[in-house]
Amino acid sequence: MKPAALRQRVRSFPRDRLLRAITAQAAQDVSVTRDMALDHPQAKLAQVRQGMLFAVAGICVTSGTNHRSKPVRPSDVQDLVDGFHNLWQPVLDGQIDDAVWRTVLSRIAYVQFPFQLSPMASLARSLCLYGTDPRFGDAVFDEDEMRDMLGTTLPRFLYLGFAMFSFAISRGGRIPRSELLSDSYAPIFAPDSAQHGLDVIDRWLAAPADELACMGRQMTADPGDLWGFNPLFERPIIAIGDEYVVPCPAAILQRLSPQGLLFVVRDALRADADPNKAFNAFTKRLGARFEDYAGEQLGLLELATVTPEISYGGGKLSVDYIVETPQVVVLVEAKAIAPTLDTRAGKFSEDSDVARKLQKACDQIAKTAELLEKGHERFPSLNGRPMRGLVVTRDPYYWLGAPFFDDLVQPKSIPTAFVSAHELEVMLPPLMHDTACGARLLDALPNELRSVSSRLTELAQGENPLLFEVWDADYEPILADIRDAA
């Protein structure tokens, strides 16, 4: 099926009815699988379907109209999901080369993969990066500044979003606004009023369908592009009459993720006298805090020596961290970045975030490696140990290092792996107390210079104690209120 045909098929149904039908299917999928392990095959399939349902809902809210009367059956929703899954991408109409395959595979990845990560980890990471815990460096905003921007504290904001996620699942994706204002829900919003809580939700998480449609049309220059901007990333909850309609509950968690919060802050700062300057200052602080966060995670390796950034030669700086074990020296560079809209859509220009920021990380690793090889007095001694590079990005670059992508970033002199913050968080716990952690790192990290690697599949995954500590402190005491109300 071609994009125009799918868009037309979506338009054949009344918009609000189709959105409600998509919503019911998404909530049912999540409800059926929420008690399964994340790696259960049925849970994995449901997560892929969440991405497809989310994409179809975005097309519906952008292009749909209520001037239709065709009934919507569950089988119609499934047909639309199948149609999106089998879409013929127009880039395949011309000459097929590596750039075309990069576009195709990137679009597929960024539809399916974002819904397959742990929601607990993402929310806890948001608290770490945007909160005030001094372990992770200077706060990007103090508590009063964050309250002024959001209308509530950061933990309360994340809590409200998580409550809407839970209600969406338990209510079949449709939440009556009047019900949330009833006395039985008052504990959810305390110490604020329910009306205040809904005002926060309306400001940052919800929007009327017509407003979302306008946003989607403004951001979609090519009507054949069904993989680019989706207005439900910006506002995952649709206000239709008295109802909050949630076509993809997991999208609420995306909005509460570190990347989602970045756009929340961007919008909040638009009222500033100099919004660009304010936003740039914020992203600089966020970058510094992410570096400290990565260092705190690396500090879990009890049998490794972790040396933070070294200043040398009149203000020049090394990589963010040098991790030493008897078997290997790992040069770690932390980048608080996420794929841009162009990267998610498979557009990799010479000025893309991949070419500029990720390649720069490889260059920084190479410079530090040269200083170590020369035995610079301010740096640890190699003592014959091999070196490896590790770049940690805040959000995943899913296809980096895979076929058709292996020439986008080139390590200069040190074999280098790229992992996201989530991958770092799950790969470290099994190594925390392991006397063989250095040997295991050396085995898992790439040993060739041909291209970067994006997966350390040889390493086991474990539950991250830092994230669980934050989760238990800020969320567990209040999640009972949500469960009771749901």
Q: Of 96, 109, 106, 62, whose CA–CA distance to 345 is shortest?
A: 106
Residue 70: exposure state from Cβ atoms within 10 A (0-12, 13-18, ≥19): exposed
Starting at the edge strand found earlier in the chain, the sheet holding 243-245 runs 174-176, 243-245, 237-240, 206-208
Q: What is the dihedral of CA 311, 312, 315, 318, to 10 degrees?
A: -50
pLDDT of res. 15: 96
Contact 362, 411 (CB under 8 A): yes
CA distance readout (Å), 180 to 173, 204, 214, 384, 476: 14, 17, 28, 65, 22
Please give the chain's pLDDT, 486 residues, in tens.
899 999 999 999 999 999 999 999 988 887 777 666 666 777 777 778 889 999 999 999 999 999 999 999 999 999 999 999 999 988 899 899 988 999 999 998 898 888 887 778 888 999 999 999 999 999 999 999 999 999 999 999 999 999 999 899 888 999 999 999 999 888 889 889 999 999 999 999 999 999 999 999 988 877 778 888 899 999 999 999 999 999 999 899 999 999 999 999 999 998 787 889 999 999 999 999 999 999 999 999 999 999 999 999 888 999 999 999 999 999 999 999 999 888 888 888 877 888 888 999 999 999 999 999 999 999 999 999 999 999 999 999 988 878 888 788 888 899 999 999 999 999 999 999 999 999 999 999 988 887 677 657 667 788 899 988 887 776 665 555 555 554
Q: How many Cα atoms within 13 Å fall on the side-chain side of residue 425?
A: 23
Contact status, residue 194 vs residue 185, Cβ threshold 8 Å? yes
Q: What is the pLDDT of residue 474?
A: 64
Kind of pairing between the strands at 206-208 and 237-240: parallel
Alpha-helix runs per DSSP H in 345-453: 353, 359-373, 421-427, 437-444
Please provide residue 68's backbone torsions phi and psi, each rounded to the nearest 5 degrees.
-140, 160
Tens of pLDDT along 13-61?
Answer: 999 999 999 999 988 887 777 666 666 777 777 778 889 999 999 999 9
One of 2.30.29, 1.20.120, 3.40.91, 3.90.320 is the CATH number of 287-468, namely 3.40.91
Where along the chain do its domains lie?
Answer: 1-271, 287-468
Q: CB-based contacts of 108: which residues, under 8 Å, 6+ apart?
A: none
Chain mean position to CA 250: 11
